Amino acid sequence: MATFSKRTLRILGDVLTDWSALTPIGHLFEDHGISLPPPEVAEEAVRAINGQRRGLTAQYVASLDLSDPADRRKLLRVLDDVLADVLPREGDETGDRARGKLLRALTDDGFAQGPDGQLRAVAGRRVEIPLDQIADIEVLQEHLERIDREVDTDPASALSAVKALIESTAKIVLRETGGSWGRNPKFNVLVSDAQKALGLMVGTLAPDKAGDTSLKMVLDGLYKVAIGIDELRNRYGRDHGRDTPLRGLTERHARLAVHSGTAYCRFLLDTLADPAAPWRKTPSADAADVQPQEAGG
């Protein structure tokens, strides 16, 4: 999870000390809903800090709970304003050095400026998808980048991105195995067809042998993960023009969906690429003896 290091907060204080004044510093934070903390917190925040401007910055930061995504977003918007309005425009040598120093610290913390210039969390990839195993990776790469960008800042959008990743993975599986899908395929049909093509649906397995019951439970759970993510997205996702506030969905739930959904996609792609996977074998008279032991790769 991207977070703010002491180094970044110290550099922020240095920048505002060098390039701003007390009243503008107050406006900078207050404009984004950040107020001064209670006196005892404010007093503790300035302990061992020299300078009024640096101290005022520390007091405003101390009022935030930086483990809370909402408070992290507030501080990101403050930093956006610092980079855009407080520091001199590019071309000023001293200002450019200060801007570069602050941006390097933010990058190390897991933040980066997006195409619109706003800072976003882009912490280390949560997804280990075997992209080298498929011919065209661009569409999956786009979904993965969206997931990384939004899982800590916009859980609803992250849900939509995970669902899109699953849909794209299922289509890749069907294409590579000679299958097809309609113009607007239903999500559950698409996922079911992809798993069937790989021999990963419980109904496609041969009769039980020792240990197969557990395998079937895992494969049934695999399918339910994908369907559950679809239902979550339909309830919380932003892609349906929602006009009411989201309640109950947090970055914790988004991370659950990300980890579950990408594990699902990885398993499908691993099975697709495995030269010994059962789906590659020609059915034979003894398939019932072999397939249960190898199902799912």
Q: What are the tens digits of pLDDT across the range 207-236?
A: 555 456 777 788 888 889 999 999 988 887
- Could you tell me what percent of the chain has a pLDDT over 90? 39
* Same domain membership, residue 56 and residue 189: no
Q: Which band of pLDDT confidence, cut at 50, 70 and 90, is reported for residue 285?
A: very low
* Same domain membership, residue 143 and residue 85: no
| Residues 114-134: tens digit of each pLDDT | 778 889 877 444 445 555 555
Maximum average pLDDT range among 83-87, 133-137, 175-179: 83-87
Angle, CA of 93, 12 and 61, to the nearest 5°: 165
Which one is predicted more confidently, 3 or 123? 3
* Same domain membership, residue 162 and residue 88: no
* Same domain membership, residue 145 and residue 99: no
Structural domain includes residue 45: yes
Residue range of the domain that includes 216 = 131-294
Model confidence at 141: pLDDT above 80: no
Q: Which band of pLDDT confidence, cut at 50, 70 and 90, is reported for residue 288?
A: very low
Structural domain includes residue 122: no
CA torsion 146-152-155-160 (nearest 10°) is 10
Structural domain includes residue 33: yes
Give me the chain's average pLDDT, please: 81
Model confidence at 296: pLDDT above 60: no
* Same domain membership, residue 283 and residue 157: yes
In this prediction, residue 82 carries a pLDDT of 96
In this prediction, residue 134 carries a pLDDT of 55
Structural domain includes residue 123: no
Boundary of a domain, candidates 59, 89, 115? 115
| Residues 20-41: tens digit of each pLDDT | 999 999 999 999 999 999 999 9
Q: Which band of pLDDT confidence, cut at 50, 70 and 90, is reported for residue 2?
A: low
* Same domain membership, residue 105 and residue 161: no
* Same domain membership, residue 286 and residue 222: yes
Lowest-confidence range among 4-8, 105-109, 111-115?
111-115
Which one is predicted more confidently, 229 or 255? 229
Boundary of a domain, candidates 115, 143, 164? 115
In this prediction, residue 205 carries a pLDDT of 59
Angle between helix 187-197 and 212-236 (nearest 10) = 150
Q: Domain total for the chain?
A: 2
Structural domain includes residue 126: no
Boundary of a domain, candidates 80, 115, 150? 115
* Same domain membership, residue 282 and residue 141: yes
In this prediction, residue 158 carries a pLDDT of 82
* Same domain membership, residue 170 and residue 91: no
Which one is predicted more confidently, 159 or 296? 159
Structural domain includes residue 96: yes
* Same domain membership, residue 157 and residue 96: no
Structural domain includes residue 124: no
Structural domain includes residue 19: yes
Measure the CA–CA gap between 149 and 156, rounded to whole angstroms: 12
* Same domain membership, residue 153 and residue 290: yes
Task: With beta carbons less than 8 A apart as the criterion, state whether 159 and 257 touch.
Answer: yes
* Same domain membership, residue 166 and residue 53: no
